Amino acid sequence: MSTHNVWTHKGTFLLAAVGSAVGLGNLWRFPYLTGENGGGAFILIYALTIFAVGIPILIAEIMLGRNSRCSPIMGMRFLTRTHQTSRSWESIGWLGAASAFLILSFYSVIAGWAIHYTGLMFTGALIDVDAAGVGQSFDALLASPGLLTLYHTLFIAASALIVGLGIHKGIEAGLRVLMPSLFVILLVVLSYGAIIGDLGAAASFLFTFNLADLSLEGWLQAMGQSFFTLSLGMGAIMAYGAYMPGEASLTRTAFSIAVVDTAVAMVAGLAIFSLVFGAGLDPGEGPGLMFVTLPLAFAEMPGGALVGGAFFILVLGAAISSSISLIEPVAAFLVERFDMTRPQAVAIMVIASWALGLLTVLSFNLWAEGTLFHTLFGRSPFAFIELLTNIFMPLGGLLIALFAGWALTHAEVMKEMRTNERWFRIWRFLVRFVAPAAVAFVFLRSIPQVEGYLIPAIGAVVIVGAFAAGRTFLADDSQEL
Ligand code: TRP
């Protein structure tokens, strides 16, 4: 059942996990959410969640992967057998596969926009165009199903090619070129922003922590974002963890992933807001921040076309290193379960996800409103798919935390973590109680118009549920308190 593949180098897991974590979430979603939610206060909650909840779940997820040495679905099947727990824990694998499939479908469409903007920047098409013109050009892109489908196809095909070549020749080799180049471009864009834009304004916007600025919705979005940005709760990290050599330290690796991911988000935020403030534009533009506000800032600045083009290549590279980690868990499962060749497995996953992506494409134009879908679900297909992933990811994270916290034995965890008893206890407390309670918060995002008192109530229910699950599902011999 096991594939027994292992990364060539000790550091490759870190490279791959950072590649997965750093993506549109850091460069596109993080800056616009921060902009919409008033800056520093949002970042404070985001950073706290990363360290108190994200890192413990990250450790749990890598641990499950490395312990089972299989794709998430087969891996969870193996772990439920060896730990004599209920087979319902296998839902972790299935939920992950479903989220990967859903996220890839829209991730690829949005990444495709960056292909368009790379072209617009390098050709100088936006130079001297005014704000209305830049906005119209974005609207025109969204209004064209043909163009969106073309970019979506190009992006997903490129990702499929890399994964199809295998974990060594494709993923490892690709990441080894991609990741260092991305860091160089990021630093170039930051320096450019610092010289030409207003770094001081950006820094004070990002690092002035005034909690009163933050709405309940802002809190929930900050926590949801910390899951999304670390690629948590859906098996991507588990699949990569399965290829991790046994001797690499889990705690240190998980910590490094979180630190690098957060640093990239901060640097991207500083660079983007320096340019936006330097050009006297509004930071609270929402999803259009990267595709309308930022191109406008570039258009007005000397050398902006060139640096802007490099910036969108950075976006593309970061997105592709994430999308390959969305394909890998499902492809690895198809290979293990149905004995397919890797190219066949990748093709099936990618073609299905591509087809689903067409719904996202149409959600921006022909099906933007007034369809039967809107009548049934009250939102566009894209918004619906995003909502599903916003539910599945935290749910997956919750189950992973509970399984790793309650089902794995003390000895197993110590073997994987290679740490001292104190860290072990802190970690276990966090995955058993703190992470489940925090996930309950994140869920509230998908329940509209909740009253404040529901939060503690749901937190309490989840904690009690965690206990109940621990008692019911798990064999007594796995509980060494
Ligand atoms: N972390 C990615 C980003 O920041 C997005 C993402 C979410 C993801 N879940 C994932 C990537 C799972 C790969 C696998 O853009």
Average pLDDT over residues 6-18: 86
Distances (CA, A) of 187 to 95, 183, 230, 264: 37, 6, 21, 10
* Closest ligand 1 atom, residue 230 Cα: 1
**Where exactly are the structural domains of the chain?**
10-480
Distance CA 285, CA 283 (A): 6
Chain segment 21-54, per-residue pLDDT in tens: 999 999 999 998 998 888 889 999 899 999 989 9
How many Å lie between the centroid of ligand 1 and the Cα of residue 453? 31
10 three-class SS: coil
CA of 131 to the centre of ligand 1 (A): 31
- Tens of pLDDT, residue by residue over 140-174, are 999 999 999 999 999 999 999 999 998 888 888 88
Nearest to 233 by CA among 104, 17, 447, 58: 58
Q: Is residue 326 lining ligand 1, measured as CB closer than 6 Å?
A: yes
Which residue's CA is minimally distant from atom 12 of ligand 1? 231
d(CA 251, CA 9): 18
| Residues 402, 399: Cα–Cα separation, whole Å | 5
CATH 2.60.40 fits 10-480, yes or no: no
Residue 203, pLDDT > 90, answer yes
Query: What's the rounded Cα separation, in Å, for the pair 136 and 133?
Result: 5
Exposure b/e, 393-407, CB count within 10 A at least 16 = b: bbbbbbbbbbbbbbb
Cα(108) to centroid(ligand 1), Å: 12
Mutation to probe ligand 1, out of 103, 324, 400 (largest number of atoms < 8 A from CB)? 103
**What's the chain's average pLDDT?**
87
Query: CB of 265 closer than 6 A to ligand 1?
Result: no
The reply to whether ligand 1 has any atom less than 6 angstroms from the CB of 345 is no
Which tens digit of pLDDT belongs to each residue from 306-330?
A: 999 999 999 999 999 999 999 989 9
How is residue 320 written in tokens? 């592709």
Mean pLDDT in residue range 270-277: 93
| Lowest-confidence segment of 39-53, 178-192, 338-352, 405-419 by average pLDDT | 405-419
- Please work out whether the CB of residue 108 comes within 6 Å of at least one atom of ligand 1: no
Task: Report the pLDDT averaged over residues 170-188.
Answer: 91
The answer, yes or no, to whether any atom of ligand 1 lies below 6 A from the CB of 231, is yes
Looking at per-residue confidence, does 220 or 277 come out higher? Answer: 277
| pLDDT score recorded for residue 101 | 94
Average pLDDT for 225-251: 88
Query: For a pocket test of ligand 1, which of 50, 99, 163, 228 has the largest count of ligand atoms closer than 8 A to its C-beta?
Result: 228
Ligand 1 nearest atom to the CA of residue 393, by list position = 9
- 401 φ, ψ to 5°? -60, -45
Q: Which two tokens stand for residue 192?
A: 């450019």
Q: In 3D, which of 439, 441, 446, 448 has the Cα closest to residue 466?
A: 439
**C-alpha torsion sign, points 466, 467, 471, 475:** positive
Question: Ligand 1 centre and the CA of 100: distance in Å?
Answer: 9
pLDDT for the residue 473 = 56
**What pLDDT shows up at residue 2?**
43
Place of tokens 């292909």: 115
Task: Determine what percent of the chain is predicted with pLDDT higher than 90.
Answer: 53
- What single string gives the DSSP state of each residue in 298-340? HHHSTTHHHHHHHHHHHHHHHHHHHHHHHHHHHHHHHHHHH--
Nearest-atom number in ligand 1 for the CA of 261 is: 4
Encoded tokens for 92 = 């972790």
The alpha carbon of 1 and the centre of ligand 1 are apart by a number of angstroms equal to: 27
Q: What are phi and psi of 168, to 5 degrees?
A: -90, -60
- Rounded Cα–Cα distance for residues 77 and 346 (Å): 22
Q: Name which of 441, 443, 435 is nearest 402 in CA terms.
A: 435
For ligand 1, is residue 24 a contact (CB within 6 Å)?
A: yes
CA distance 229 to 27: 10
User: Residue 478 has what pLDDT?
Assistant: 44
Decide: 326 and 104 in contact? Cβ < 8 Å.
yes
Which atom of ligand 1 lies closest to the CA of 21?
1
Q: Strand locations in 142-187, DSSP E? A: none
- The backbone region for 4, taken as left when phi is positive above 0, alpha when psi lies in -120 to 50, beta otherwise, is left
**Ligand 1 pocket check for 394: Cβ under 6 Å:** no
Task: Establish whether residue 18 lines the binding site of ligand 1, counting it when its CB lies within 6 angstroms of any ligand atom.
Answer: no
Does residue 236 line the site of ligand 1, with CB under 6 A?
yes
Residue 26 beta carbon below 6 angstroms from any ligand 1 atom: yes
Which ligand 1 atom lies nearest to the CA of residue 234? 12
Name the one residue in this structure whose structure tokens are 């165009």: 129
Residue ID of nearest Cα to ligand 1 atom 10: 231
103: Cβ below 6 Å to ligand 1?
Answer: yes
Within 8 A by CB and 6+ apart from 303, the residues are 192, 196
CB distance 229 to ligand 1 below 6 Å: yes
Give the atom of ligand 1 at the shortest distance from the alpha carbon of 30: 4
The predicted-structure confidence for 102-143, as pLDDT tens digits, reads as follows 999 999 999 999 999 999 999 999 888 888 999 999 999 999
Confidence of residue 454 (pLDDT cuts 50, 70, 90): low
Best probe residue, ligand 1, of 107, 156, 226, 316 (max atoms within 8 Å of C-beta): 107
CA of 19 to the centre of ligand 1 (A): 9
What are the two backbone dihedrals, phi and then psi, of residue 441, each rounded to the nearest 5 degrees? -60, -50
DSSP state for residue 370 in the 8-state scheme: S
Question: Quick one: average pLDDT of 332-340?
Answer: 92
Least confident of 60-64, 216-220, 239-243, 376-380: 216-220
